Amino acid sequence: MEKDKFWQSILAEVQLNISQANFNTWFKNTKLISFEKEKMEVAVPNSFTKEWLKNKHHDTIMEAVKSLGKEVNDINYVIKKQEKREEKVEKEKGKNENQMEFEQFHIDQDTNLNPKYTFENFVVGPFNELSHAAAYAVAENPGSVYNPLFIYGKVGLGKTHLLQSIGNEVIKSSKRVKYIPAQQFITGVVNGIRSGQMEQFKDKYKDIDVLIIDDIQFLSGKEKTQEEFFHTFNDLYEKNKQIILSSDRPPKSIRALTERLRSRFEGGMIADINFPDFETRLAILKTKAQEKQVNISDEVCSYIAENIQKNIRELEGALNKLIAHHNLTGKKIDIAGTKIILKNILESPTKNISPTQILKAVSKFYDVSESDLKGNSRKKEIVKPRQVAMFLLREELDYSFPYIGKKMGGKDHTTVMYSHKKIKKELDNEDDMKEELALIKQILLSV
């Protein structure tokens, strides 16, 4: 078969297995250079794509080749500059710098642990030292010191990193660990009930030594899930198994949490993570730069650390963006360039996102299907996510109300205006809404 045609067939296969956005981003400018003796050479436009394909989509490509009846042992990704540099830079600018964060890598299917989060690369400062110390003690002696351990702090301040570090430390001693975001736990309970397979769901948690549940605030108002969790909690607790929880607020501030769960949470150790001080922000930037093997001057690091104060994820995002720019242009990362790049981030951190991404993120966050978002159901649990989606389309992308209506399955512009106003009002009056939007924006950067 002719090379180009063969590659097209492979891409068609691949396309079936990954999202359209992913496909467009990573496969669009690829080409088959050669295919001989079960070895394949694929041209890719830049080093990001190379890393990404190698680490994330390699198996998908291999599968696709196999499904076309060919054998392949090895794929070599070769960087080929296909376009003029200027054009390429323009294009790359449109991409989301967070794609550089190979977030999903090598996540263990069974434990859900991501090996990139460890105590070794967790920087400790006054703002998080209590949480760190407690986490470390628990990792050393699970089930015996602080049980449960409850860590809370605002978005992007390192809760997941810390929780995962405990898990990654504990599995070294071949104990059974399970990390699960609360949203996933909720979905598990809901599906268990729906399909009458609650026992299978419970079995998953029966024999665990360390159970880690992230973002427990999402249990708020979910009574059935809370009840299930209460039983799981008690079973494990009575067997002296360790339970570790995180939330964006302390237990007493989680609304609609049954009293018995609240008192369980408060029965162990509660530690918070605050906003990082300047020195620690600097230290984190340096650690991350080192991890990514780039040289960044003190001046540039200080400038970033001075300007991004309340979110370590954003701190890292800024660094990624600088590195991306450097890799593409070959220019040194200097203070002048940093100022320009940072200005864009500070003015609109979620620039360059697409409406599809917004719908995806909202759908993921509220666990509501995208077609429901665009549909006409008046159910409360769908109406609010729909309004949030419209709100974000307006705020993040500055779309006109009629256009948003069209995107949302043909709604009247007055409906969109009403939704926008409603969410805006909630945002002004309720901290919960602020937190929810912050979390959705966080998902937005990774879908």
> Among ligand ADP, Mg ion, none, what does residue 326 contact (CB within 5–8 Å per kind)?
none
> Among ligand ADP, Mg ion, none, what does residue 325 contact (CB within 5–8 Å per kind)?
none
Residue number of the CB atom closest to ligand ADP: 158
Query: Residue 209: in which H helix or E strand, if any?
Result: none
E-strand stretches of 116-174: 149-153
* Binding of Mg ion by 160 (CB under 5 A): yes
Nearer to ligand ADP, 248 or 372 (CB): 248
* Binding of ligand ADP by 128 (CB under 6 A): yes
Q: How far is the CB of 217 from Mg ion (least distance, A)?
A: 11
Segment contacting Mg ion (CB under 5 A): 155-163, 198-206, 302-310, 313-321? 155-163
Determine what percent of the chain falls in helix, strand and coil, rounding each to the nearest 5: 60, 10, 30
DSSP letter at 240?
T
Beta-carbon count within 10 A of 215 CB:
21
* Binding of ligand ADP by 437 (CB under 6 A): no
Q: How far is the CB of 280 from ligand ADP (least distance, A)?
A: 7
Segment contacting ligand ADP (CB under 6 A): 92-100, 309-317, 388-396, 419-427? 309-317
* Binding of ligand ADP by 405 (CB under 6 A): no
| Spatial CA neighbour of 418 closest among 400, 391, 392 | 391
Nearer to ligand ADP, 246 or 387 (CB): 246
Would you state the structure tokens that stand for residue 246, as one six-digit string?
């995180």
Task: List the one residue from 32, 43, 155, 254 that touches ligand ADP (CB under 6 A).
Answer: 155
Beta-carbon count within 10 A of 58 CB:
14
* Contact between residue 311 and residue 155 where contact means Cβ atoms under 8 Å apart: yes
* Binding of ligand ADP by 183 (CB under 6 A): no
Q: Which residues lie below 8 Å from residue 152, measured CB to CB, with a gap of 6+?
A: 159, 246, 247, 248, 249, 250, 270, 271, 272, 273
Give the C-alpha separation, 391 to 402, whole Å.
13
Provide the 3-class DSSP secondary structure of residue 5: helix
> Among ligand ADP, Mg ion, none, what does residue 166 contact (CB within 5–8 Å per kind)?
none
Helices H / strands E in the chain, number of each: 21, 8
Task: List the one residue from 42, 149, 157, 318 that touches ligand ADP (CB under 6 A).
Answer: 157
* Contact between residue 209 and residue 138 where contact means Cβ atoms under 8 Å apart: no
* Binding of ligand ADP by 345 (CB under 6 A): no
Place of tokens 């979390």: 439
Residues in contact with Mg ion by CB under 5 A are 159-160
Positions that interact with ligand ADP (CB under 6 A): 121-123, 128, 153, 155-161, 284, 312-313, 316
